[in-house]
């Protein structure tokens, strides 16, 4: 099993361009798995982890409800935002500046074949990172992602998640609010959940800005530890 994970920080990148790149990496891994099965070979499948920051964009998962987007196309344009219906699980979410978005494109045959465990690991990476800042992140029953003050009237989401998996290969991932303009969340019903709010790390810490590079490094450290992976840093190739 190949536990090396090729890591790229893509910086600021258009959502559709990044989605296409994810699909390219995903298809390469799936294609290699099909080749191995068809030809009886055992070629090692690669794993990837992408970090990226997107311009303002709203995305709707394949089981999502379009009515959870509260503005029309013209109003989106007024806010310099775009919209895509995409092939991940989950409902509607927002990506934008000040977020760390993580896309693990992993062959889970290299780690463990359990999607539930995979999602819990992604949540745990963020929970452990929040703990590094003295914040207690939690899971909320039936609601994927990472939350604060679960079970109280002040419950709020700090990290959204939605993934796709086929032949045990994953794509899409998590969106962790660090220095995010939370006003954009008022343009939708986040994840289709009406009675809970959204927050960001800088708000919780009472800081104007949090060092996003520091957050990324903490996330990478916890990713390596939980997945027992070895990260191979690569230069941006797209």
**Which residues participate in catalysis according to the annotation?**
191
Cβ–Cβ < 8 Å for 90, 162: yes
Q: Residue 54: which residues within 8 A CB-CB, separation 6 or more?
A: 12, 13, 14, 15, 18, 95, 96, 97, 99, 101
Q: Where are the beta strands (DSSP E) in 16-78?
A: 48-53, 57-60
Binding positions for substrate? 88-95, 160-162, 173-175
Determine how β-strand 138-140 pairs with β-strand 82-85. unpaired
Residue 212 dihedral angles phi and psi, to the nearest 5°: -70, -30
- The answer to whether 12 and 56 are in contact (CB under 8 A) is no
C-alpha to C-alpha distance for 122 and 114, rounded to whole angstroms: 13
**Residues marked as binding?**
88-95, 160-162, 173-175
């Amino acid at each position: 099993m190949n536990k090396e994970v090729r890591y790229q920080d893509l910086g600021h990148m258009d959502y559709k361009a990044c989605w296409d790149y994810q699909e390219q990496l995903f298809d390469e891994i799936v294609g290699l798995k099909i080749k191995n099965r068809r030809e009886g070979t055992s070629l090692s499948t690669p794993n990837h982890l992408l970090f990226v920051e997107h311009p303002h964009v709203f995305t709707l998962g394949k089981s999502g409800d379009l009515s959870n987007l509260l503005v029309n196309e013209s109003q989106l344009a007024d806010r310099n935002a775009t919209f895509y219906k995409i092939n991940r699980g989950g409902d509607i979410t927002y990506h934008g500046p000040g977020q760390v978005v993580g896309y693990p494109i992993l062959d889970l045959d290299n780690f463990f074949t359990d999607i539930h465990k995979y999602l819990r690991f992604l949540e745990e990476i963020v929970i452990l990172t929040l703990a590094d800042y003295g914040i207690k992140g939690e899971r909320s029953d039936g609601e994927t992602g990472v939350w604060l003050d679960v079970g109280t009237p002040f419950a709020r989401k700090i990290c959204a998640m939605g993934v796709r998996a086929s032949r045990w290969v994953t794509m899409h991932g998590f969106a962790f609010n660090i220095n995010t303009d939370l006003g954009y969340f008022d343009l939708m019903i986040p994840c289709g959940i009406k009675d809970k709010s959204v927050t960001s790390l800088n708000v919780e810490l009472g800081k104007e800005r949090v060092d996003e590079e520091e957050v990324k490094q903490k996330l990478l450290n916890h990713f390596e530890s939980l997945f027992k992976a070895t990260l191979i840093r690569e230069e941006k190739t797209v």
